[in-house]
Structure formats: C-alpha cells, structure tokens
Chain A
Amino acid sequence: MLIKRKIAEGINLNYIEDKRFKVNRVSIKFLLPLQTSKNSSRSLIFPVIIRGTENYPTEKDISIELENLYCSSVNSSYSRQGNISVQTLNVSFLRKKYIQDDTDVESGVLKLVEDVLVHPLTENGTFKCKNVEIEKSHLADSVRAEINNKGKYAINQCVRNMMSDDPFGYPINGTVDDIEKVTPKDVYEEYQSMLRTAKIEIFISGDVEMEKYADFFKNIFTAIDRNCCQDLEPLPVKTHVGEVKRIREKDNVVQGKMVIGFRAFCSNEDSLDDIIPFLVGLNVFGSGSTNKLFDNVREKMSLCYYCSALFIADKGLMIVQSGVAKENEEKAFKAIIEQLEKMKNGDIEEKEIENAKSDSISEIVAIFDYSKSIIAWNYEKMFYSKPLDPDEYIDRIKKVTKEQISDKFKKVELDTYYFLCGGDD
C-alpha cells in the first residue's frame, strides 16, 4: 500500500511499507524536460558529487563510510522517460533488526544522503575541477566502449536512426565531443538548477518511520528557493513512416547483428486499455516465454541462437533483434517478417494467446515480490493518465482478444533495417 505525501511544491514522498524484506530502499528522482545539450552535464552531476562531499571529501572516505554502515549503498543513474530526463539517487541499507551490533545505520546513511544532495565538495563556487575532469574522462571512455557490446550497440544504432529528429535519438550521455566540452561550471549550474526546478519524487520501500523521512527531506528542500518546472509533457509520438531506411555497418564481427526497427503506433501516450492488447500481442510475437520468433526462426529453422522483440513504450518502437550468419541474413529477415504477417492476419492460435496472458499476468504478480520492482511499478504509474491497480491490470490482460491483438499489429510498420556485419562484406 502506497502512502503519498506532498512535502513541498513539486516534491512528493511515496512510502510503501513492506516488512518482508531485509533491505530498505530509498530512491530520489529528479525529473526535468529532456534537453540534448544538457545530457552530458546532467549525467555527470551525481558521479561527481559521489567523489566527494564536505564531510566525506574523497571517494575513499565515502566508500569507507558505506562499508562501516554494513554494506549500505548510495549510487546514481541517469535515464530518460520519453522526453523527460531523470536523475536518480538510489540508496539501500539493511533494516535495523539485521544489524548485529548497535551501529545506527539509518542515521549514518541519511547523513550521507544529505551531504550528497546539498553539501557537495566545491571550490571557487563550482564543483572541484579535478573531480569533474576525472568523471568526464571515465564517462567518455564508457561512451567509446559502447562498441564492445555488439548486440547492444546494434540496437542503439538502429534506435538512433529511427529517432534522429527527436531528443530521444540523441546519446543519453552525449557524445565524446559533448563530454569533453563540459566545464565544472556547467555541471554545477545544472546541479543547482536541478535542485531548484526539478519535479522531485522520493520513493521509500521497507520498514521505516515515514514522519522521520518527511521531516528529513522537508528540512533539506525547504532551504532551497524552489521554482518547480511544470512543463513535463512528453513530445508527441511520430504518426507516419517515411521511406524505409536500410543501414549496413561494418565491424570485425564473426556473426551479423540484425536489428529491425518498427513503429507500433501504440505508445505510453495511449491509455493502458490501448497498450495492454499490444503488449499481450508482443508476448505472442517475440517477448514471451514461448513466442513465434523463438519457435520458428530459432527452433524450426535453426537460424539463430536468439531472436526476440522488445518495445520502447515511450516512443512506440518495436525492435526485433537477432544474431545471424551473414549468409542467412535474407532468410532470417524473411522469416521474421513472415511471423509479423501472421500477427497482422490474426494467424494466432488460442493457446498462444492464453500462454501470453498467463505470462503477462505472472510478470505483474512477480513485481510485488521485489522491493526494487515495487518502486519501479509505482514510479511508472505516475506517467499514465489513467493508471491501473495490479488487479485491474490483470483483469484487462484477461479480457484481451485475438481481434484486438491483430488490429494493433496491423498498424505496425517497418521503419529501419540495421545490420552490423563482418569486414569483408
């Protein structure tokens, strides 16, 4: 059961009491409109701060403190939800009853969180230059290292090509050039603007005194002169496909990585009543525990080890990925399209739909067995105009029909074909 409390303008505390777990989790999310020019500086904010605060001036000091606090963790992530940028500070620590001595872990963790939020290490009115330069260099290395994971790289390249006219298509951490241009002042200003203007959603799962946390965050944020940003509307999702793009890229790979990008014309802009039939269909097609792509392209035709479909709901993109030998490229592509045609034509067995429904229901039920996914569920709920409770959601899954699924899939259109292949092609 979630208790929501507004603790200041644009700041909510969401507490989900749950005594089944040994770990308490706090997740602090800062939401702002996505701006590609700010991707690099925003993604650097928390990594820079976690290198040093006023009370814990080095990363070593912070690490020692976290170890003293019985393997507590404080880390950050930078992501996006459609056209909203999300900076998250994630905190986890053991519940008091599992600490073997009288160490006050909770107070220690909150002290560290306060430091990270409002007492970062500064010099000459900005973040410490050395810390910014260290994090810039590591972030640029990580961006360059994207090519090391061929499958993921291929998906990213396909999506970037599909979304070239949308901020979503721009690299989440910026390019190496963007990162190199960032100054400590840029990061610091972005940090201050985040504290002043971001919509802040705080999630807590576990067994804590909610009042204590409400006071704690109120004290921190009321000291800041806030002017919360109201403009968090996702940009409209593209409504048509132009000419199909075909992209071949060479790399030194022994197996081709095929990624096919489709527009589903179904996205988080729609109501869940509209999305759920598509999701059940996606499960039948290529994301379920058994599915058409796996059964046919892999099991019947032995063309690949993996062939599956995923959905980027924010932008209505359906992505099919497979690793195939170059000589089987055409054959695999045809086999995938053939399965898609079956979805469009309603060539779907009742059993396939029943399996997909059971699988989808099971996924929803399992969410509530893990504190991390409970937080994620409640967070994502915020983005729907008409959110559903788990029981309602499951009820909607049960009601999905074959006709609804094929209607949804009839709208799916090929947008971009991408193939990463070996050098002598």
Chain B
Amino acid sequence: MSDYRVLKYPSIDEQIICAKHKSGLQVRLIPKKLSSGCAVFGTRYGGKDNCFKLSGEKEFTEMPAGVAHYLEHKMFENEDGEDTFAKFAKYGTYANAYTSSNVTCYHFTSTTHFLDNLRILLDFVSHPYYTKENVEKEQGIIGQEIRMGDDNPGRALYYMLLNSLYENNPVKTNVVGTVESIARITPELLYKCYNTFYNLSNMRLCVSADITMDEVLGVCDEILSVQPENEIIRKPFEEKDEVNVKYSEKEMSVSKPIFIVGIKDNKILSDGNERMKRSMVSDILTTILFGPSSDFSNEVYESGLVNDFGYGNNSADTYSFCEINGESDEPEKAYEKFLNCIKNAKSIIKPEDFKRCKNSTIASYIKACDGVGIAQAEFNTAIFGTEVFDILDLVKNVTFDDVIELSEELFDEKFISLNVVKPINGENKK
C-alpha cells in the first residue's frame, strides 16, 4: 500500500487519486465505472524544446527542428523486433502517440486486459531502441507527414501566426521539422534527448478506468526503476513585448482567403494554477466578445463578412495568445471590425454577459467529464501543475474586474497581428 492523496469533487461526482511512485513518476487516476480504460504516459518535451542542458552541464545542446516528434515515432521500435502496435493489437487495443509544441504523449484505450496494456505502455516508453537503420527508415515516412502538413492551409496559417507573434520564442518551431532538419537526426541525438527528457520526474502517467491506484502502482513497480531526478534547463530567450510582424500573407490553393488574428499575452505566470486562472479569464473575455452570443460574431456572420468564424486561447508555460479566425473575401475589413470591437471592449462587456458566459464555461467543463478520455485532459493540465477538475474552482473565482483588467492589458494594437492565406493569383474559386 502506497501513500496517496484523494481529491474529491462531490458536486460533479468525480475524484482524482494522486500518487508519487517510488521511481519518481507522478501518477493520477480518475476512476470510471465503464468498460473502457484509458492511460496516457507522456513527457514535458515537445517541438519547442530544442536547446537545453542538464543542471551541471556547461554548454547548451542544440537539436535539429522536429527531433521530439521523430523520437516519438522511433519509440515504437523494440529490441525484440516486435512492433509496439502489434503488442497492443493482441488485446484489440487502440494505441497511438502525438507530439505538440509542449509535450509528447503515448496513450491507449482498451476494453479488456487493462493492466496488461498498461504494462506494454510503460515498457515501450521506458525502453528506447534506436539504430542507424531504423532511424533512417523513418525519413521517408516523416518526410511524407511533413508534406501532408504543407498541403494543409490551416496548419500553414497557424505557423504564420506564431512567426508573426514571436521573434525568438521557440514555440514557433514547426513540431515536425523540415525535410532538411530531420535529415540530420541520428540515433546518438535521439538518445541524448531521450535521456534528458524521458526522466520520470519530467513525466506523468494519467489513467481513467475502473481500477484501483494500488493496481496501477503495482504495474509501475514491475516496469519502472528508480531514477535520480534531473533538472532540465531550457535555453532562455529574449522576446520583445510587441509582435514580431504585424501582417503576413501567403498564397495556397484555397477557395477564398482564410485569416487568423493573434493577440499576444506577455504576462506568463510561473505558477501553474495562476496561469490556468489567467487562461480562464481570457476564455470568458473572448467568449463575451466573440462567442456565439456576441454582437461581433452575429454581425460578421449575418453580413457574410466571415464564414466559419472561430476564436480561442492558446497558452502553456512559455507563451500565451488569443486568436480569432475565419474565412473572408475581405480579411482587412474583418480585422478593422475586430479592432473596433476591442477598442470598445470596456463598454461592450456587461456584468450580465459576464455572469452568463462564466456559468456556461463552468457547465462546458462539466459536460466534458464523461468518458475515459478525461485522462487526456488531466495529463494536459497536470503536466503544467493543475488538476483538471480544479479548473472548475478557478473559473468560479473569476470576477468581472478580472475580465476588465485583462482586456485593458491585452487590447493594444502593438500586441496584435493579422495573417492571411490567399488563393493563388488572387483567384477565388467559383
């Protein structure tokens, strides 16, 4: 029997059981009485972590772009020659992995033999096996993944935005890299990255299933050995407050121009919960101004100015921005309207709108609790220090003044950039 904490959330009939395994791994369990079980095992290591050293080392090591993602692909190779997917397939289990700017995640969802599946997951992620041959083999596959991304206008637009907002922030690095950068990847580089970032103290295991914490820790005991904690130092960077580029555009094969407007938030709080609260304030603020009940979204829709309108927030430990996006024949006109909206934000935001949007935000989080996929949500917040159901209290504590204050901090043209992907030769498809 190990020591663990049980966090109870009676108003939503949920709990999170938290334990630190003796190997150094933080483990979370959200019990669910369902046939499916889901486990997410991942590390705080993503596309942006390309220049780093361990505490005590003199020099920073710089890696080619795309190395975290490349490493994720190569984790599926095993020394015994059996493919990892084949091991899961025996139980009919769906397994996969992904790499974002911030994290690399390995996960499965199963309906039988949960503990056996968990064993496979912990085992393959804790046993790297990189050879010259298997690393070279992946060049063709990832090369095609990169090209698939090159044909995706939405993805192009997202990276245009990051380049516009940031001059030096490594979040602008393309997660999959380029055909040229991945050509420089070797087994030695992969081992260096693995040994740095796949230290268990930099990782999390989050599980949602009909199972006990003792059973989960039992599997950890079998597979994971005690590791000395390491301290990773990512190379610091200087970033000016104003945006890097006010406007960027590119031509691609699209039916009409698509655009994204980003607002850079320069206040990156170091405490995970405070950062999460700020992101909730930002959620409520953007919902009031651009959400389905806002004048802005209804006007651009009714006038036909913007099709497929969307808005959102994106933040992690080193960056934060809000965005609005859509499709428009006149992106500049949509942008003018947007500027006008944020200029008058203070008079637009009414206490009754705040109350309504806040309650609706809380409800949206409760609605998202069903199903074992909650393990994924827990991983994404826990890796940055917030337990997923604690978000409810963070939202509840947001005040009207918080929202007004944030709007005053954010809404300045020098933090804002417009980016557009236009049809080739300016010809809209009829």
**A residues touching B (Cβ–Cβ < 8 Å)?**
20-23, 58-60, 63-64, 66-68, 70-71, 92, 94, 98, 100, 130, 134, 137-138, 141-142, 144-151, 176, 251-255, 257, 288-290, 294-295, 298-299, 302-306, 323-325, 354-355, 357-363, 365-366, 368-371
Contact = CB atoms under 8 A, between A and B. Distances in A.
Interface of B: 11-13, 33-36, 83, 85-86, 88-95, 109-112, 137-142, 144-145, 147-148, 150-154, 252-256, 258, 291-295, 298, 301-302, 304, 307-308, 327, 356-357, 359-364, 366-367, 369-372, 424, 428-430
Contacts of B294: 60
Contacts of B430: 144, 176
A147 B255 contact: yes
Contacts of B110: 362
A144 B256 contact: yes
Sort A-B residue pairs by CB-CB distance and give the 10 closest, nearest first. A358-B92, A302-B140, A362-B92, A71-B363, A70-B363, A255-B147, A63-B293, A63-B292, A305-B145, A144-B255
Contacts of B33: 20
15 contacts: A22-B367, A63-B293, A67-B293, A70-B362, A71-B359, A71-B363, A98-B366, A137-B304, A144-B255, A144-B256, A145-B256, A360-B92, A362-B91, A362-B93, A365-B111
A294 B89 CA distance: 13
A67 B144 contact: no
B93 A289 contact: yes
A56 to B, nearest CB: 11
B370 A22 contact: yes
A325 B367 contact: no
A132 to B, nearest CB: 12
A60 B33 CA distance: 39
A145 B92 contact: no
Contacts of B304: 134, 137-138
A64 B356 contact: yes
A137 B328 CA distance: 12
A252 B298 contact: no
Contact of A370 (B140, B364, B371): B371
B36 A369 contact: yes
Given A22-B12, A305-B144, A148 B255 contact: yes
A152 B113 CA distance: 35
Given A289-B85, A305-B145, A141 B254 contact: no
Contacts of A298: 141
B35 A134 contact: no
A23 B367 contact: yes
Query: In this complex, which of B144, B253, B295, B327 has the most chain A Cβ atoms within 10 angstroms of its Cβ?
Result: B144
Contacts of B147: 254-255, 323, 325
- Summarize A's interface: helix, strand, loop or mixed: helix
Contacts of A255: 144, 147-148, 150-151
Contact of B327 (A21, A145, A323, A359): A145
B148 A369 contact: no
B141 A366 contact: no
Contacts of A294: 85
Given A64-B356, A94-B367, A304-B141, A252 B293 contact: no
B148 A323 contact: yes
Nearest to A150: B151
A151 B150 CA distance: 12
Contacts of A254: 147, 150-151
Given A100-B11, A290-B83, A305 B142 contact: yes
B36 A366 contact: yes
Contacts of A64: 293, 356
Given A302-B141, A370-B371, A359 B254 contact: no
Given A70-B359, A365-B36, A303 B140 contact: yes
Nearest to A252: B253
A362 B89 CA distance: 10
Given A60-B295, A63-B292, A71-B367, A20 B356 contact: no
B147 to A, nearest CB: 4
Contacts of B302: 59, 130, 134
Given A362-B91, A369-B35, 8 more contacts: A22-B367, A130-B302, A146-B255, A252-B252, A255-B150, A357-B92, A361-B92, A362-B112
A334 B308 CA distance: 40
Given A148-B258, A254-B147, A98 B11 contact: yes
Given A71-B367, A148-B153, A355-B92, A142 B35 contact: no
B89 A290 contact: yes
A366 B145 CA distance: 29
Contacts of A134: 301-302, 304
A295 B405 CA distance: 55
A26 B110 CA distance: 28
A355 B89 contact: yes
Contacts of B295: 60
B144 A358 contact: no
Given A71-B363, A145-B255, A362-B94, A306 B11 contact: no
A102 B214 CA distance: 40
A15 B145 CA distance: 44
A295 B89 CA distance: 13
Contacts of B12: 22, 98
B307 A70 contact: no
B89 A366 contact: no
Given A289-B94, A323-B148, A365-B36, A251 B253 contact: yes
A396 to B, nearest CB: 15
A147 B359 contact: no
A304 B83 contact: no
